[in-house]
Every structure is written in structure tokens, then in C-alpha cells.
Amino acid sequence: MLLPIQCCYLSTIAALTIFLSTTSFSDAQSCNGILVSYAYTGGSRLPPNVSNAAEQPYRFESTLTVLNNGLDELKSWKVFVGFDHDELLVSASNAVLADGTTLPAAVGNGTVFAGYPMTDLKTAVATAGDLTQMQVQINLVGTVFGVAPPSVPMPKSINLANDGFVCRASTTQGKNASSVCCTRDPKFKTNITTDEEFLPRQNGDLSIMYDVIRTYDSNYWAEVTIANHNPLGRLDNWRLSWDWMNDEFIYSMKGAYPSVVDSSECLFGKQGTFYRDLDFATVLNCERRPTIIDLPPTKFNDSDLGKIPFCCRNGTILPPTMDPSMSASRFQMQVFKMPPALNRSQLSPPQNWKISGTLNPDYKCGPPVRVSPTENPDPSGLPSNKTVMASWQVVCNITTAKGTSSKCCVSFSAYYNDSVIPCKTCACGCPQNRERTCSTTASAMLLPPEALLVPYENRTAKAIAWASLKHFPVPNPMPCSDNCGVSINWHLLTDYNKGWSARVTLFNWGETNFADWFAAVQMDKAAAGFEKMYSFNATLVDGVNNTIIMQGLPGLNYLVAEADGADPLRDPRVPGKQQSVISFTKKLTPGINTVRGDGFPTKVLFNGEECSLPSVLPTSGGSWDGFSLGTSVLLSLLSFLLTR
């Protein structure tokens, strides 16, 4: 039987053996900073056998090592690995993906790893050279395509992803290992001091605070606060998910609820074996990756489920420019832990956070970072603050993935042109059915103004008749629809010496009602001359001098869903719609040319989601040359129908 000191000695020898097998000894000695190394350790052919060698899958195994050889502790380490062979990562020990993606995940374009559970790497000076505290090793297993042994699928680059570091050129050891030394950049300015126990809070479009407010040996209460910091970002019907890493489960909640209430995984799992006396009929959720949703406003004063500040808003989080009091959401939950974490001071947040909403921007969330405990006003009313037990911050930023379709679109029209330039073909995605009879590449056909009032499937006859009248070409096959749930028409209404105006019309073609909606238009040359909006509230966004945000007036800020026509058997469906005129002065924008394009927005957002814009503008030989009596009648009819 081994004595404790022998076990410790053998484990140190084992760690040193692994370290030396993946890192050059000379590199480890010469790097006075953070040494990052990558070593391919093996691979094998995987089924199925395919004829195309480039598509043949192979298993790969490798080891990523991060060693702190510097004088400062490395907090919340992050490492970029530039995978370059369509890799699919299946598992990674001692790390998570920094963008919150759950494994398995496609990492062929490279990915950033973040430490878990060991997030900080101490120095040799502070630990007397203890590798278990100053180094972390991540064992990677995944699938690679087209790289058959003995060829080695090495990443094209590796480097430290923490801010304030400069990495040298990487060095290779044979064909299956490489390393890079990264040192602090003396030019990088930071407000972080090395003697602080926690990292400062970071800025982002959205932040999520995970605060432990009460803790016991076997469970704790956490308060989760979602705060919106982006002036134009928002969430509707938010859905929040994460991964429990140590078999935790949710016993009870206030202010929010799991989308699925199910305790069967606990009852028939290790949790049920350990907590023999616990009534699992009252447990809310035992999923490894739960999804949390907000409660309706009717539950705010519920003694069991509500009475949490900022809770119970149907998942709506508005931008602070609209209403600061509505820019946050909060809930509490009781979390039960599993061995060996049965200690009130042993706390660990969930990982791989993701948040989404309905017709909202896409957010990418980083890993939880330990920050100084949150301070709240003392509930007794004393002039002091009370800190929570522990706090972690998750920062999420708005991202747009390549190939992502828009969720809304814009059409353009003007007083000097008879036709409406509609939304682009497939602006919000093309039809999924393979038997489609429309073209995804043909340009959208110009429309008469009244065609904007009917669903796309009812516009064909109007578009063809308009093309015949105006001698426009008719594509064969016809272009596919825009497939957008929300569309916005920007109509240049008037233009005179001292000012000009436009009419903005919102159409909701979907089945979702939008409460507290907002739209924002970016006008690089015209925004400074904004005067007034008549049926909407509108204002210039603080700190952004080219963007106007608009929303419905109190009591009129509800954009309803599409509904049946007066006679469903005969009439087309009717979109939810709202309309207003916006006016501008030319006094503050001398030289502006509205007809040449300055009177049209260069970017439009609806509920924080960027809309697809037409690629061309209405044309005219002169200010009023193209304006006809027919156009006047049609536009008057459109305005009359929209305001009914």
C-alpha cells in the first residue's frame, strides 16, 4: 500500500513525464512568460469507408499545454487553436469552448479554449515550482477529415488569447508538436493590478451575473441577472441555457421557470442514489443542459414564484435607450450539488451559456469569470451595502455568423417613381422544399404600391400586370419570396427647399405579436436634420449621431400578427401594420441630396435585428419628373388603407 507522500511523489513524476513529452525542455526553460504547446499524440481511421479520400474521417488525439513561467498570475486563461482540417471536437478535458458552444462542436475554423475548472495559473515563485498549480493540460479527442496517418493534422497556429500579451513565432518539434511563448505587451494599458484577487467586470452588449446569495453544504441559492447594455439590442421571450458540469440539479426557482419540468434523470440517476430522503416529485429540473424561460407579468406578485425585482416580463429585455427600468431581467434558483463538492465554500458556476430570443440579434457568450462579489443595498435600510457570497460574470456580444439570413427586410419607394423596390429575393432565407418552382437568384420584381398590402403569394398577378403595364421583363421562373416575418417600407414622401419627409410603414407577416417594438434607422448624412415623427416616438440615439430610434406611442406600441381577411375564403390575409411620417430640416445638413440617396437609410434594425436592404434606390430624371397622376392616386389609396 502506498503512503500519501509516495502517491504525491508518483503523481508529480507522472505530470512531469506528460509535460516533457509535449513540450521541449529548452522552450520551457527559455520562455519567461506563458508557454503554449500542442502535440498530436495519435489517430486512427474511422468508419464508414468512403471513396473520396478528402471526406474520409479519422480520429485524432492531442494534448494542449499551458504553462505559466512568468512573474504574474494568469487569471482566466484562454488559448486559441487554429484548427485547419474541418475538425469536429468531441471532448476536451480541463477546458470548455470560450464561445459557450457545447461539445461535440465543429472547430474547423479555429476555436478558443477557456479553463475549467482550473481557470487561473499561478507562478513558479508563488508555488515553488508546483506544476499542478502553474500548468494545465487539455486532452483533446475529435474527428478530422482527409488527413490519413502518418500525416499529422496540426493546427496552423496556437497562441494565448488573453488581452495584453504578445506571442513570438511558434517553434516546432518534429512534425507532431509545436509551441509558442507569449509575454506581456508593455504597450498594453489595463486597469488590472496583479495583486487583485478578482478580475474587474468587463463590458459587452449583454452581461449575465451569477451571484451566490446563500450557501449550504449540499445546496446553494443563486441569483441570475441579465442586463442589456447595447443601445439597440433587445430580447423577446428570452431563453437561457447552460451546462451543469458536476451533476447539479435545480430544486426550486423564483422569477423564472424551466421550459421542461422533469426530475426523472435525477430519480433514476446518481442523484437519486445519493439523496435518498429527497422528494424528487418537487424537483424542477435534472437536465444537464436546462433551458430557462421568463414568467408572465401575472406571476410578479406570486408569493411562491414571483416577488423578484425585474422578473416576470414574458422574457422582454429592452435596450436602455428605450427604458432603463426594462433593460434587465432577474431570477433566483436553488441548486443541489453532488459529491465531492459537499462543502458550503465549494462553489462552481455552470458553463457554456447561451441566450436567444424571438426575432432578436444572435449573442455569443464567453465563459463565466470570477469577479468581486456583487454589492446590494442592505435590505434593512441601513446606509451600507451587503455583498453576496461569490459572483461570476458572463459577457455576451452580438454576432452575425457567416451565411446567416436576416429576419426582416426593407422596401424603398419615392414620390418621383411609380414602382416600389421590394425586399430582396430570399432576403430572410430561401424555401426549404426541393420541389420549389421559383428562382433564388432572379431579382425581385418591381411592384405597384398597393401590392405591399397583400402577402407575397398573392402578389404574383399584381407583379405580372405591373410588368406588362411598364414593359418590365418577367423572369421565368419567377423569383422566390423574401420569406421575412417583418418588412418595413421607407417611402420618400416630399422634398422642398427647407426640408423633406418620409413615410415609414411596418408590416408584420408572422404569427408573433410584438409588444414594445422599436425600429432604428441609420442615416449617415440626414440624421442631424431630424425634426419630428408624428405617430411614433422618435429620437436620436445618445452618442450615435447618425441613428434615429423609433417606437410606438404609449398604448399604440403593439405590432399585431398577421390575421385573416374580412372574408377568409376570398380575401388574402392582412398583416399587422403601423405607419408614421418623419420630417427633416435641411438647415443643419446643407448640400443634402435626398433624391440621390441621402433620403434613404443605410441600415435599418427592427427589435435589434439588422434588416436586409434593397441594393438599388428609386430613380428619377428630376425632382418631380417621374411623378404621375396614377402614382399620386395609388399612394393616396395606400395611405388610406393603412390608416383604416
* Structure confidence by residue, pLDDT tens digits, 554-602: 888 889 998 887 777 777 889 999 999 999 999 999 999 999 999 999 9
Query: Residue 12 CB: number of other CB atoms within 10 A?
Result: 13
Kindly state the average pLDDT of the residues 445-468: 92
Tell whether the model's pLDDT for residue 622 goes beyond 70.
no
The residue count for the chain: 644
For residue range 423-444, list pLDDT tens digits in order.
Answer: 999 999 987 775 668 898 999 9
Interatomic CA distance for residues 508 and 488, integer angstroms: 9
Residues 398 and 362: beta-carbon distance below 8 Å? yes
Minimal CA–CA distance to 27: which of 158, 134, 227, 181? Answer: 181
* 25 Cβ contact list (under 8 Å, min separation 6): none
At residue 14, the 3 state secondary structure works out as helix
pLDDT at 640 over 50: no
Can you give the pLDDT at residue 630?
42
- State the virtual CA torsion across 98, 103, 104, 107 in degrees, nearest 10: 0
HSE-CB of 19 using CA atoms within 13 angstroms: 21
CB 252 within 8 A of CB 372: no
- Asked if residue 563 lies in contact with residue 483, where contact means CB atoms within 8 angstroms, the answer is no
pTM for the model stands at: 0.84
Q: Is residue 228 helix, strand or coil? A: strand
Grid cell locating 128: 515553488
Count CB atoms within 10 A of the CB of residue 91. 12
For range 38-54, the mean pLDDT: 94
3-state SS of 343-409 is: CCCCCCCCEEEEEECCCCCEEEECCCEEECCCEEECCCCCCCEEECCEEEEEEEEEECCCCCCCCEE
Please write the tens of the pLDDT for every residue from 469-522. 999 999 999 999 999 999 999 999 999 999 999 999 999 999 888 989 999 999
Q: In whole angstroms, what is the distance from residue 623 CA to residue 512 CA?
A: 40
Question: What are the angstrom distances between the C-alpha of 122 and each of 66, 67, 136?
Answer: 11, 9, 11
Q: What is the pLDDT of residues 121-176, one digit of tens each?
A: 999 999 999 999 999 999 999 999 999 989 999 999 999 999 999 999 889 988 99
pLDDT tens digits, one per residue of 258-275: 999 999 999 999 999 999
pLDDT at 382: 77
Instruction: Name the DSSP class of 311.
Output: -
For 363, residues 6+ apart whose C-beta sits below 8 A from its C-beta are 205, 206, 354, 355, 356, 396, 397, 398, 399
Q: How many CB atoms lie within 10 A of CB 62?
A: 24
- Per-residue pLDDT band for 12 (boundaries 50, 70, 90) equals very low
Cα 520 versus chain centre, distance: 19
